[in-house]
Structure formats: structure tokens, C-alpha cells
């Protein structure tokens, strides 16, 4: 098939030897980094203003360089490194009042086990919510490459189940037909004529659902199992 999903762990390995890959990875995961840091310090932070986020970015890069793909998932590992480095920073700045000493010790002991003893156990995502967050980050990045905004997708998503199903059927036709899929990925234009011949859906209906159909194709191709295209207000 024309398009192959690249896992996060594979992206991390590539980033070890490519500044361009690393910069793209950091850009895509800035929301994740901010979420981890803000949860640790207990307040809203802003890039370019708060030093804690700079520490988080540095810790994320440290996690990339230290990560071993054979040992587990990168998301949980990077969270551990970020938390530990932020705690170090806060301690030096004497701003550690809201974080318990026991939690500090636990984080430091875990990080020591992971980085210094090189005996990291397999890390799994803490819960399903983490998987959803990761998929949203990945999906937003994919949509951006197609000039589709997440808010735009929400706005134009059909309200009616029957119409959503028709658009999902159109997406499946694209995925199952290599020629149609290749044309879509090459031109970034929905091959409406070809789909219309197969499904007998009116051209105007396909044109109205163009963005939604493309979004479904991207979600399926990238194996976003937790993510469901949200119901919006724009469908007819």
C-alpha cells in the first residue's frame, strides 16, 4: 500500500540521527510536554515565558537520546524523564513546596533505575486516556499536513449517522483501491469521479464531505484505534 504508518518509537529512533526529524518530533509533541510539566508544577505555563517549559523541552530531547526501543513505550519513558528534570529545576529554584518529598524520591529512584543502571522495565501507557492524547497529537499533525484544522474537522463533521456512514464507506473504498489511494496521496485531492462510480453517491454530496472523507482515510491508514471522528454541526 502507498502509505505506511510510522510508530512513535520509530520516529524517535530516526530523530537520534536527524535534526530535522528531531525538530519535527518536538514541534508535534509540544502539547504533550506542556501537559506533563503543567501537571507537575500545578499551573498554566507558556512557551517562551516560563523556564519550566524550557526544562521540559530539554528533558524531552534527553529522553529521545536515551530511549531504547526494545525496552518499552517512549511516551511513558519521556514523561518520567520530564518529571524528574522539572523536579530538579524546581528544587534548585526553591519552588518545590507543592510537590511531595516522597514523590520526588520515587521519580528519582525510577529515573536512576532507567538511565543509570540501564535496566529499564517495560513501560506501558498509564491508561487509555494517554493513548487517546497521543493519537490526538499524531492526528492533528497529520491533518496539518493536509491543511485541515482540528476545529474545522469538528465543525464540518456530519451530525446524521447515515451520512457519516456513507462517508466512511467512501473512505474504505479509497483504502481498498490502490489506484484511488495513490492518486489521493499524490495529489491530495479527493478522486470524486472514481468514488462516485463505485458507490453511486452524488457528486455534490461527496464534495461536501471531502474534508471529512480525507480525515477518515488518514485515521484508518495510521491505525488510530482509540480515535473516533467526532460528531460536529456541519453535516446535512
Assigned domain for 234 exists: no
Q: Are residues 77 and 136 in the same domain?
A: no
- 160's enclosing H/E stretch is none
Q: Are residues 79 and 176 in the same domain?
A: no
Q: Are residues 135 and 92 in the same domain?
A: no
Question: 29: which DSSP letter?
Answer: T
Answer whether 158's CB lies under 8 Å from 164's CB.
yes
- pLDDT higher at 29 or 107: 29
Q: What is the pTM of this model?
A: 0.50
Average pLDDT on 133-141 reads 71
Q: Are residues 101 and 72 in the same domain?
A: yes
CA 76/CA 71 separation, integer angstroms: 11
What are 141-175's pLDDT values in tens digits?
Answer: 778 888 888 778 888 888 888 998 899 889 988 88
**How many residues are there in the chain?**
236
Q: Are residues 104 and 146 in the same domain?
A: no
Please give the sequence-ordered ranges of beta strands (E in DSSP) within the chain, or none if there are none: none
Q: Are residues 47 and 87 in the same domain?
A: yes
CA 170/CA 236 separation, integer angstroms: 17
Assigned domain for 121 exists: no
CA atoms within 13 A on the CB side of 69: 10
Number of domains in the chain: 2
Q: Are residues 87 and 183 in the same domain?
A: no
In degrees and rounded to multiples of 5, residue 226 shows phi and psi of -85, -25
Assigned domain for 157 exists: yes
Q: Are residues 89 and 27 in the same domain?
A: yes
- Longest alpha-carbon distance in the chain: 68
Of 58, 83, 116, the position where a domain reaches its end is: 116
Average pLDDT on 85-93 reads 82
Domain extent at residue 53:
8-116
> In which band, very low, low, confident or very high, does the pLDDT at 210 lie, cut at 50, 70 and 90?
very high
CA 230/CA 33 separation, integer angstroms: 25
Of 85, 116, 147, the position where a domain reaches its end is: 116
42's torsion region: left (phi>0), alpha (psi -120 to 50) or beta?
left
Amino acid at each position: 500500500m502507498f502509505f505506511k504508518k510510522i510508530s512513535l518509537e520509530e520516529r524517535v529512533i530516526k530523530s537520534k540521527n536527524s535534526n530535522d526529524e528531531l525538530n519535527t518530533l518536538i514541534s508535534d509533541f509540544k502539547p504533550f510536554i506542556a501537559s506533563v510539566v503543567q501537571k507537575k508544577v500545578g499551573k498554566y505555563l507558556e512557551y517562551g515565558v516560563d523556564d519550566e517549559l524550557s526544562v521540559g523541552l530539554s528533558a524531552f530531547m534527553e529522553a529521545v537520546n536515551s530511549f531504547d526501543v526494545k525496552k518499552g513505550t517512549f511516551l511513558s519513558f519521556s514523561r518520567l524523564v520530564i518529571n524528574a528534570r522539572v523536579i530538579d529545576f524546581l528544587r534548585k529554584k526553591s519552588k518545590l513546596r507543592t510537590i511531595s518529598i516522597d514523590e520526588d524520591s520515587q521519580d528519582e529512584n525510577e529515573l536512576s533505575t532507567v538511565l543509570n543502571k540501564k535496566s529499564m522495565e517495560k513501560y506501558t501507557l498509564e491508561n487509555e486516556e494517554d493513548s487517546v492524547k497521543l493519537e490526538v497529537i499524531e492526528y492533528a499533525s497529520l491533518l496539518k499536513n493536509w491543511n485541515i484544522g482540528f476545529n474545522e474537522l469538528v465543525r464540518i463533521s456530519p451530525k446524521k449517522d447515515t451520512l457519516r456512514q456513507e462517508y466512511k464507506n467512501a473512505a474504505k473504498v479509497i483504502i481498498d483501491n490502490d489506484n484511488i489511494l495513490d492518486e489521493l496521496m499524490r495529489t491530495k485531492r479527493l478522486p470524486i469521479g472514481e468514488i462516485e462510480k463505485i458507490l453511486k453517491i452524488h457528486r455534490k454530496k461527496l464534495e461536501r464531505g471531502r474534508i471529512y472523507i480525507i480525515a477518515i482515510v488518514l485515521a484508518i491508514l495510521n491505525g488510530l484505534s482509540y480515535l473516533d471522528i467526532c460528531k460536529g454541526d456541519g453535516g446535512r
